[in-house]
């Protein structure tokens, strides 16, 4: 796995996915200190502007194992989305993302997820993409549900966050699967466990 994953510019109707720049640092900091981000991600509790600058200039740089895109809407930083390659023969990886609070509920992440899945299955030739989230992170689930991910499995103690085990959801999408919701959203919300 020595080939560095490129960070191509991906464009949709609403979003542009591109490499992070230092100009994104303040948006990253704002997203990182948002209560929902703190609740559902591993972002440090004392997140500073300096951490954001390091994140956009070093952490999100091209690497052999992951590709990170800044999500841009109307010239503004709207979030981050990434693919992390798994060391398996068939080509697989995991999907992660976080939306800036000013852009939630506008279809931004739905389109970003679709663009990244097209890249994973098309350009990279992956056969499988996995998604995980805290149980109860309905915003994250809705983005992958719209992209055709199967109903997630609830797993107690799935995630490790800030030194604690956290209940979570996990789902895997295959390259040949339909890219549309597999069930009714309200039914999914009514039946899916959020904690053990």
* Contacts for 56 with CB less than 8 Å, ≥ 6 apart: 20, 21, 22, 24, 25, 28, 70
* Per-residue pLDDT band at 4 (split at 50, 70, 90): confident
Mean pLDDT over residues 73-101, rounded?
A: 95
Q: Please name which of 97, 113, 81 lies closest in space to residue 41, comparing C-alpha atoms.
A: 97
Over residues 181-190, the pLDDT tens digits come to 999 999 999 9
Cα of 63 vs its chain's centroid, Å: 17
What is the pLDDT, as a whole number, of residue 62?
Answer: 83
Q: Catalogue all structural domains in the chain, each as residue range(s) with its CATH number.
A: 10-191 (3.40.630.30)
pLDDT at 6 over 80: yes
Instruction: Please report the sign of the dihedral spanned by the C-alpha atoms of residue 148, residue 153, residue 154, residue 157.
Output: negative
Mean pLDDT over residues 14-30, rounded?
A: 97
What is the pLDDT, as a whole number, of residue 1?
Answer: 47
pLDDT at 2 over 70: no
Q: Please name which of 110, 85, 87 lies closest in space to residue 95, comparing C-alpha atoms.
A: 85
pLDDT, averaged across the chain: 95
């Amino acid at each position: 796995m020595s080939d560095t994953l490129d960070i191509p510019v991906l464009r949709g109707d609403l979003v542009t996915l591109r490499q992070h720049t230092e100009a994104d640092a303040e948006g990253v900091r704002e997203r990182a200190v948002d209560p929902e981000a703190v609740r559902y991600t591993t972002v440090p509790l004392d997140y500073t502007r300096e951490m954001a600058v390091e994140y956009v200039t070093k952490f999100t740089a091209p690497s052999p194992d992951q590709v990170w895109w800044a999500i841009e809407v109307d010239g503004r930083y709207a979030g981050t989305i990434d693919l992390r390659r798994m060391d398996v023969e068939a080509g697989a990886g995991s999907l992660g993302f976080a939306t800036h609070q000013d852009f939630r509920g506008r279809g931004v992440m739905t389109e970003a997820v679709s663009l990244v899945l097209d890249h994973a299955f098309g350009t990279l030739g992956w056969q499988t993409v996995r998604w995980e989230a805290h149980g109860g992170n309905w915003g994250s689930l809705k983005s992958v549900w719209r992209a055709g991910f199967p109903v997630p499995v609830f797993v107690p103690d799935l995630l490790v966050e800030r030194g604690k085990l956290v209940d979570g959801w996990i789902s895997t999408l295959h390259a040949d699967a339909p890219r549309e919701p597999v069930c009714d959203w309200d039914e999914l919300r009514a039946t899916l466990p959020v904690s053990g």
